[in-house]
């Protein structure tokens, strides 16, 4: 399908200086210089990818239309020795929620892309048959993927590595769920890393792009190598090897099973309860007993990934969100079955958070007598069987659950049983037991999300005024943190640390203040896009379940997040952001952030 030899130019400090442009409809591949005028305002990953995306589309674009682009973008530290910075982002419009959509993943693909000489690549159009994108330094081509059409992610990734003749190549791939454009399908990377939640797999599937394989042999340049490495060592010793972060190495995310149960915010049996009385079957101690090895992303000393194995079932994980939403929330207190569920989803390309939540809803519908899906809490046979039915759309039950919680609940007049915001299922932190998490879910740009603000253990979790302001500040901070490609698990990183590393790496001064403003700028662009896509303040709302039905047990038993209290929280949040009472950024806020001339 035509190989284009690209001229390899001199790298910038911290950046490759080039972005690949892929038109699947025409088969044309080209390279463009990085938009350096945007770098100091948006930096990389989420922010820079978002700026590229919003420059290319109008918010009313159809997510699965050929003309809808998908932007993949690395960040400035990706591919360097800065720890916990291998993540890279995908930005588009979600086919599941209709919102702006960012997802990011770790592993090694992001650094490999930088080593090949590119800060990112942008895909648009639609191929007339299944293809994959092959990147080998300055040799880039589109090749036939018909041999793995319909195959799972694990087999597809092996095929992609063989295509470049290197087991060291890094891959992205979709499974049958993505090919079938399931709204909560994922893009897999290195088997157990995912671009998840809101339909990344469907976006690739709609374009007949089965996967991407990359092999790079270059590097990333910094202005002063000696000083840069000294800074890296300093922050590793002083800021990373601390109790704030070392839990990721010793326990990984399963440590949250006990924490959330102790706080009474552990969703159990379709979000009815805040405590799982059988949590010990799924907690960190249970994972340690099943652990066989650990895995780290590129440049990470923490190695949070835990490979587990029970009776022939194996997976990297399960992570906390899976243990809770596909375990406790489904009444599935058998770690072996959760591991099997996790592996099925990873291979078929389904999001375990939404998958678990949808199945829990179907279990609740069955046991309440509203509709019989032959799914019951704690029964593993159908729980495992239905995963393939969803991914393959092979049964009526599978097709209905593939719709997601919002549409499934609407079909059976069970909106009071669903837990979703803007169509995206609520993560594994119960908002009736933490009002800050409720505010974070309601105001997240992509639907209910715990990765934008995370006041999970705040002593002020029921103080509406404190929580509303803290959520806004955290969203701004995480917007710039994700734009630096920094992992969530460097929990103690600060604007000052980021600015210091950027200054040494770039060879020019960067201040913490300009990064603070950049984070707020990025968040406001997501708001402008969603407003243009038709979302309003009325969509910044929690599910009826959380506002009207008391939580069933635990420290937060009997609590709800009352509508009047929530409305007050939202008003405080909008005011803290400089938005009007309808959630629209005021003109003076846009001028302050340099967004008054951007048309979205």
Domain end call among 425, 457, 492 = 425
Task: Annotate 405-430 with DSSP letters as a single string.
Answer: HHHHHHHTT-GGG--EETTEE--SS-
My answer on whether 585 and 446 are in the same domain is: yes
State whether 138 and 271 are in the same domain: no
138 & 54 share domain = yes
Helix (H) / strand (E) element for 194: namely strand 193-195
CB–CB of 160/211 below 8 Å? yes
Q: Are residues 570 and 518 in the same domain?
A: yes
Burial (0-12, 13-18, 19+ Cβ within 10 Å), 415: middle
DSSP one-letter string for 335-348 = HHHHHHHHHHHHHH
- 388 with 502, same domain: the answer is no
- Domain membership flag for residue 44: yes
Q: pLDDT digit string (tens) for 563-578?
A: 999 999 999 999 999 9
- Is residue 238 domain-resident? no
Contact 104, 88 (CB under 8 A): yes
317 and 205 in a single domain? The answer is: no
Domain residue limits at 293:
266-425
Q: Are residues 316 and 384 in the same domain?
A: yes
Q: What is the pLDDT of residue 597?
A: 85
Does the residue 461 lie in any domain?
yes
SS (H, E, C) 543-576: CHHHHHCCCCCCCCCCCCCCHHHHHHHHHHHHHH
pLDDT of residue 10: 54
Examine the fold and report which residue of 153, 181, 215 is the final residue of a domain before the chain moves on.
215
Cα 553 from Cα 573, distance rounded (Å): 29
In sequence order, what DSSP letters do the residues of 338-374 get, joined into one string? HHHHHHHHHHHTB-HHHHHHHHHHHHHHHHHTS---S
457 within a domain of the structure (yes/no): yes
Burial class (CB in 10 A: 0-12, 13-18, 19+), 459: exposed
In a shared domain, residues 460 and 404: no
> Strand 187-189 and strand 313-316: pairing?
unpaired
User: Cα separation of 191 and 343, whole Å?
Assistant: 9
Domains held by the chain: number: 3
Same-domain status, 75 and 207: yes
What's the CA gap between 233 and 253, in Å, rounded? 25
Mean pLDDT across the chain, nearest whole number? 95
In a domain, 247, yes or no: no
In a domain, 252, yes or no: no
pLDDT of residue 307: 86
Tokens 């949070």 appear where?
304
The pLDDT of residue 17: 96
336 with 454, same domain: the answer is no
Residue 360: predicted pLDDT: 98
The CATH number given to whatever domain includes residue 396 is: 1.10.569.10
The answer to whether position 414 is within a domain reads yes
pLDDT-flagged residues of the chain (< 70): 1-11
The pLDDT of residue 4 is 52
| Per-residue model confidence (pLDDT) at position 5 | 46
Tell whether 12 is covered by a domain: yes
Q: Are residues 316 and 457 in the same domain?
A: no
Pair 403, 436 in one domain: no
């Amino acid at each position: 399908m035509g190989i284009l030899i690209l001229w390899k130019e001199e790298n910038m400090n911290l950046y490759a200086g080039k972005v690949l442009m892929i038109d699947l409809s025409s088969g044309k591949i080209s390279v463009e210089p990085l938009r350096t005028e945007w770098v100091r305002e948006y930096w990389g990953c989420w922010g820079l990818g978002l700026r590229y995306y919003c420059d290319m589309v109008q918010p009313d674009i159809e997510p699965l239309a050929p003309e809808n682009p998908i932007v993949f973008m690395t960040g400035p530290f990706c591919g360097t020795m800065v720890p916990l910075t291998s993540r890279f982002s995908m930005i588009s419009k979600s086919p599941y929620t209709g919102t702006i959509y960012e997802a990011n993943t770790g592993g090694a693909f992001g650094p490999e892309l930088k080593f090949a000489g590119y800060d990112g690549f942008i895909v648009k159009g639609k191929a007339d048959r299944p293809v994959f994108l092959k990147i080998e330094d300055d040799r880039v081509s589109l090749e036939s993927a018909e041999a793995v059409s319909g195959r799972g992610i694990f087999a597809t990734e092996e095929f992609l590595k063989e295509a470049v003749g290197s087991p060291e190549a890094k891959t992205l791939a979709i499974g049958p769920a993505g090919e079938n454009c399931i709204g909560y399908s994922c893009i897999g990377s290195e088997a157990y890393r995912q671009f998840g939640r809101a339909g990344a797999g469907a976006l690739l599937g709609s374009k007949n792009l089965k996967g991407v394989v990359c092999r790079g042999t270059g590097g990333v340049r910094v202005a002063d190598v000696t000083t840069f490495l000294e800074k890296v060592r300093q922050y590793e010793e002083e800021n990373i090897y601390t109790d704030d972060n070392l839990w990721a190495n010793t326990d990984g995310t399963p440590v949250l099973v006990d924490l959330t149960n102790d706080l009474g915010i552990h969703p159990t049996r379709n979000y009815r309860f805040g405590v799982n009385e059988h949590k010990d079957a799924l907690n960190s101690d249970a994972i340690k007993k099943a652990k066989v090895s650990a895995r780290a992303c590129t440049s990470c000393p923490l190695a949070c990934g835990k490979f587990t194995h029970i009776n022939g079932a194996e997976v990297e994980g399960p992570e906390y969100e899976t243990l809770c939403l596909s375990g406790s929330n489904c009444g599935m207190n058998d770690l072996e079955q959760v591991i099997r569920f996790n592996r099925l989803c990873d291979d078929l390309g389904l999001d375990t958070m939404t998958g678990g939540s949808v199945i829990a809803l179907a279990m609740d519908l069955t046991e309440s007598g509203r509709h019989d899906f032959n799914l019951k809490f704690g029964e593993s046979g159908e729980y495992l069987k239905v995963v393939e039915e969803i991914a393959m759309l092979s049964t009526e039950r599978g097709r209905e659950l593939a719709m997601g919680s919002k549409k499934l609940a609407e079909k059976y007049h069970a909106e009071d049983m669903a837990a979703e915001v803007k169509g995206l299922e609520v993560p594994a932190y119960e908002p009736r037991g933490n009002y800050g998490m409720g505010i974070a879910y309601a105001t997240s740009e992509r639907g209910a999300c715990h990765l934008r603000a995370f006041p999970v253990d705040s002593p002020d979790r029921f103080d509406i005024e404190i929580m509303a302001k803290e959520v806004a500040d955290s969203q701004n901070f995480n917007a710039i943190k994700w734009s630096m490609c920094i992992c969530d698990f460097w929990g103690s990183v600060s604007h000052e640390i980021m600015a210091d590393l950027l200054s040494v790496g770039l060879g020019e001064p960067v201040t913490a203040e300009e990064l603070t403003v950049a984070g707020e700028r990025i968040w406001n662009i997501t708001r402008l896009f969603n407003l243009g896509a038709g979302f309003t303040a009325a969509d910044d709302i929690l599910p009826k379940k959380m506002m009207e039905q008391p939580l069933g047990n635990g420290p937060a038993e009997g609590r709800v997040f009352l509508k009047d209290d929530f409305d007050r929280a939202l008003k405080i949040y909008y005011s803290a952001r400089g938005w009007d009472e309808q959630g629209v950024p005021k003109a003076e806020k846009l001028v302050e952030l340099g967004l008054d001339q951007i048309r979205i």
